[in-house]
């Protein structure tokens, strides 16, 4: 994690995002997109082990040091797609590659399927398509989303007594991480407030999605991708726990590599970051 890094603010037409820039100016352009409730420190172990890449790692809206969306706005996955396309515009990148983990991998897949002429290569960690829903479930899911949204105004963020308690809370999150990973995420994700510490993430990120793609809709994005795709699958990750997901992957135009580790295998220790880096270095620089 000794690689030189530049901290920047990206003033997009509709929101300001924070980002780190790594690697040589003439490296292959790559935008790194982290997962839900994480931040760009998700790539702190992995990025220094990648070679020949000019990487812009972004704090997504509502995460890390980036702005929160304005009142009344939503955190739909396609809003993140638009944000990342605007990041590419900021750097003048007509073509670029994407490195995505979890929700960031889903966002990356949607970008590559929406704008296939823009994406050079797609490197994904333990996710590829969004959670889907059956058409008949749409009314109930929309109702549940509205109810949760209206109830949110009466909820307050949890204030932790100490920085260490905030780290422990993230370790026990919906997708748990080890202490080392939580400490790295906390560097950018935790802030002091009267009475203790809170995580910076926007509370609205916890709201359920009002509308989900159906499975055929989600797969349509994958089948429209025109670039090489490498998906690292964590043996103890999220995808292995979803019934039928592995069988589904066999029918997709994706280079699949299963590696030992949990959902954050690229962040939890140096060994995990190295095996993921070895895979992606071969992918980004084929012989």
CATH number at residue 30: 3.40.50.1820
Average pLDDT over residues 219-246: 89
pLDDT at 153: 78
Q: Is 102 a catalytic residue?
A: yes
Q: In the chain, how many domains are there?
A: 1
Domain assignment present for residue 208? The answer is no
pLDDT at 253: 84
* Chain segment 165-195, per-residue pLDDT in tens: 999 999 998 899 999 999 999 999 999 999 9
* Chain segment 109-123, per-residue pLDDT in tens: 999 999 999 999 999
214 pLDDT above the threshold of 90: yes
Catalytic residue (one of 102, 108, 182, 230):
102
- The domain containing residue 228 runs over which residues? 5-134+213-284
The count of other CB atoms within 10 Å of the CB of residue 71 is 6
Domain assignment present for residue 59? The answer is yes
CB 240 within 8 A of CB 246: yes
CB 31 within 8 A of CB 98: yes
Alpha carbons 267 and 177: distance in angstroms, whole number: 9
Any idea what the Cα angle at residue 169 is, between residues 162 and 272, rounded to 5°? 115
pTM over 0.85: yes
pLDDT at 2: 65
Domain assignment present for residue 157? The answer is no
Mean pLDDT check: name the lowest of 57-66, 86-95, 144-153, 253-262.
Answer: 144-153
* Chain segment 236-254, per-residue pLDDT in tens: 998 887 777 777 787 788 9
Average pLDDT over residues 18-36: 97
Mean pLDDT check: name the lowest of 2-6, 70-74, 224-228.
Answer: 2-6
More confident position, 241 or 265: 265
Domain assignment present for residue 75? The answer is yes
More confident position, 22 or 150: 22
Domain assignment present for residue 154? The answer is no
Domain assignment present for residue 187? The answer is no
Any idea what the Cα angle at residue 50 is, between residues 48 and 55, rounded to 5°? 80
Domain assignment present for residue 41? The answer is yes
Domain assignment present for residue 51? The answer is yes
């Amino acid at each position: 994690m000794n690689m030189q890094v530049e901290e920047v603010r990206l003033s997009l037409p509709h929101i300001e995002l924070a980002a780190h820039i790594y690697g040589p100016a003439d490296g292959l352009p790559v935008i790194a997109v982290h997962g839900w409730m994480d931040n760009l420190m998700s790539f702190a172990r992995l990025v220094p082990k990648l070679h020949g890449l000019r990487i812009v790692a972004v704090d997504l809206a509502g995460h890390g040091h980036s702005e929160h969306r304005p009142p009344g706005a939503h955190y739909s996955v396609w809003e993140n797609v638009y944000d990342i396309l605007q990041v590419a515009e900021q750097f003048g990148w007509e073509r670029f590659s994407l490195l995505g983990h979890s929700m960031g991998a889903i966002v990356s897949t949607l970008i590559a399927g929406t704008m296939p002429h823009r994406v050079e290569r797609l490197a994904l960690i333990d996710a590829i398509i969004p959670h889907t829903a059956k058409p008949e479930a749409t009314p109930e899911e929309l109702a549940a989303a509205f109810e949760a949204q209206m109830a949110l105004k009466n909820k307050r963020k949890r204030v932790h007594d100490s920085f260490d308690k905030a780290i422990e809370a993230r370790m026990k999150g919906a997708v748990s991480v080890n202490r080392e990973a939580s400490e790295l995420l906390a560097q950018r994700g935790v802030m002091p407030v009267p009475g203790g510490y809170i995580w910076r993430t926007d509370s609205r990120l916890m709201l359920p999605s009002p509308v989900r793609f159906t499975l055929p809709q989600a797969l349509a994005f994958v089948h429209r991708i025109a670039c090489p795709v490498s998906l690292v699958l964590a043996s103890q990750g999220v995808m292995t726990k979803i019934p039928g997901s592995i069988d589904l992957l066999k029918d997709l135009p994706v280079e699949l590599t299963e590696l030992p580790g949990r959902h954050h295998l690229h962040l939890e220790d140096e060994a995990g970051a190295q095996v993921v880096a070895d895979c992606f270095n071969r992918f980004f620089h084929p012989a």
